[in-house]
Structure 1
Amino acid sequence: MKTTSLVLAATLLCSAATAQAISISGQAGQHYTSLGADFGADTAGLTTNLNWAHSDNDGDIAGIGLGLNVPLGPVMATVGGKALYLGPQDGDEGYALAVGGGLSLPMGRYFALYGEGYYAPDSLSSGVNDYAEANGGLRLNVIPLLSVDIGYRYMAMAGKDGHRDNVLADGPYLGAALHF
């Protein structure tokens, strides 16, 4: 009975994820680049994402996230978490399990304001004291297939055991996404 329930839950999760729209995105800031793929990010229900970020001076982060999108009137609220691989330039490689969420507010047909934040304390990370990320900005929906973002991003891994902090991003960025 327990196995049947687990199989049913996994099947529903996979079928919900495959029925959702896919977005492929890229962002660039000073000394920072990021690539991502989102599944179901703009619709109510389950959403998943994959991301990779690289800083010329401070290392790499790769992650997979799972969230729940909840429409609140015109606002889409997301709550969820991310499992992250942390590769700081100065320090030990490790992982983090970050929790957080975000909001997206359409501003007419072509624009939307958005923001999100995730945090992993020392108890949910290894190799670093903690991990924090936040971003927010304005999205221009050029055509249904293409959007352009301008925003501000902060991503940091606090050093542990005498290692320095690694701040992958702390500044403005420009991004684009293709939606399928």
Structure 2
Amino acid sequence: MKKIALASLLLASAGAQAISLNGQVGKDYTNFGFGLGTGSSGIALSGNWAHSEDDGDIAGLGLGYNLPLGPFLATVGGKGLYLNPDEGSEGYAVAVGGGLQWSLTSSFSVFGEYYYSPDSLSSGVKDYQEANAGARYTIMRPLTVEAGYRYIDMTGKNGRRDNVVADGPYVGVSASF
């Protein structure tokens, strides 16, 4: 009976979380993602797929915990990533990091995040880095536009070149339900 009550509680709290779908386009890359609970305190789940014609693909699934800190929402967590560089071996990475969101008004916010995986937590690459910073403007619920800068790097191993999936500005759109 306790297991049923616990499962019901978890499902009820998950039902209260907003689900978001997003997409961003940069000069030489695209990124598509989803989130569950990423804009409120508590447990958050996220995922993304980024693609570069010249440097390969990454796909990730993240789990984090959001902490409200005054006007900020801080996230600490990790990501499991599938790496498929154009030059080098495909593999995986377990990255740790977090982010910070600051809602300046009910419609406008700024954000930043960073995740890193050293050689010991990755295969096929020496290390993995991902950084993202930008601003979001909610036109009307559920539609939000976004502009920012994204950097995703898979550092080459054993003399192979680095594969920089993203390194530049982007524009994007998201919908939250």
- For normalisation by structure 2, the TM-score amounts to 0.94
Residue deviations 1:10-48, cap 9 Å, x none?
Answer: 775555334311000000001100100000011110000
Which aligned pairs between 1:112-123 and structure 2 lie closer than 5 A? 112-123=109-120
Which aligned pairs between 1:76-115 and structure 2 lie closer than 5 A? 76-115=73-112
Is 1:149 matched with 2:137? no
Is 1:26 matched with 2:23? yes
> Cα gap change, 1:122/1:150 in structure 2, threshold over 3 Å: closer, same or farther?
same
Match of 2:46 in 1: 49
Match of 1:126 in 2: 123
C-alpha distance in 1 between matches for 2:97 and 2:7 = 23
> Cα gap change, 1:106/1:125 in structure 2, threshold over 3 Å: closer, same or farther?
same
Identity, % of aligned pairs? 55
Match of 1:160 in 2: 157
> Cα gap change, 1:84/1:109 in structure 2, threshold over 3 Å: closer, same or farther?
same
Q: Does the CA contact (< 8 Å) of 1:17 and 1:47 recur in 2?
A: no
Match of 1:140 in 2: 137
2:37 paired residue among 34, 37, 40: 40
C-alpha distance in 1 between matches for 2:10 and 2:71 = 25
SS at match of 2:120: helix
SS at match of 2:138: strand
- For normalisation by structure 1, the TM-score amounts to 0.92
Match of 1:176 in 2: 173
Cα offset for 1:163? 1.2
- Gapped regions of structure 2 (runs ≥ 5): none
Residue deviations 1:43-76, cap 9 Å, x none?
Answer: 1100001110000100000010000000001100
> Cα gap change, 1:123/1:111 in structure 2, threshold over 3 Å: closer, same or farther?
same
C-alpha distance in 2 between matches for 1:96 and 1:15 = 32
